[in-house]
Amino acid sequence: MKKYLLISLLFLFMTSSVFSQGLYFDIGFGVGNAKTEIDGYDVSDLFDSSVTEIGVDLGLKLGYGPVASMPIYIIGEISGIGHRFEDDVNYIQFNSYLIGPGVIYYPIPLIQIGTSIGYSFVSNQTDLPMSMYDSDSGLAGNVSAAFDLGKGNHGCLIGIKYAKATNTLEVSGAEQESSLFSAFIKYAYRKKI
């Protein structure tokens, strides 16, 4: 827990200087097709067609830009992907999180391309009487492309994103690999050039 607090404080300290410069901020969510593998075995194979499968992405980016009059923004990202299986009675959810740096690029004012990579941890959940192991060590990354609609400094991002996280689970030592291909919508505040 101390590790998460230290990383969060470092992230806030680094981004606090941004407010006096060119602030970049976006927040939003996405839904899509998720996949979770434990030691290479696809978890979806454990369930029949009556189980509902949902993939969700939540994220926040904060940073600075444009850099040196180029359409590039340097950001820090906190995001998570969830892969949920549920029926009428129970659920199992695999959650992977990313904390790390990234870059956003505007090839033209209407199109945004972004990528982030960083530290990952896992916090899995279920209401079944079983243990769901977590992890505090891993690597995650994502890449996205979006239309940036809006006037002035306020915008609406509508796009697609691919995110992936790899973590070694505590106790079992198994490797959990989660990925999500999603469509997203976000609010963005940025200084465009």
Q: What is the mean pLDDT of residues 92-117?
A: 96
Encode pLDDT of 145-168 as tens digits: 999 998 889 999 999 999 999 999
The DSSP result for 112-152, as a single string, is EEEEEEEEEEE--EESSSS----BS-EEEEEEEEEEEE-ST
Q: What is the pLDDT of residue 36?
A: 94
Using DSSP, state whether 156 is helix, strand or coil.
strand
pLDDT surpassing 70 at residue 187: yes
* Largest pairwise CA distance in the chain: 56
**Structural domains of the chain, ranges and CATH numbers in brackets:** 2-189 (2.40.160.20)
Encode pLDDT of 50-100 as tens digits: 789 999 999 999 999 999 889 999 999 999 999 999 988 889 999 999 999
pTM of the model: 0.85
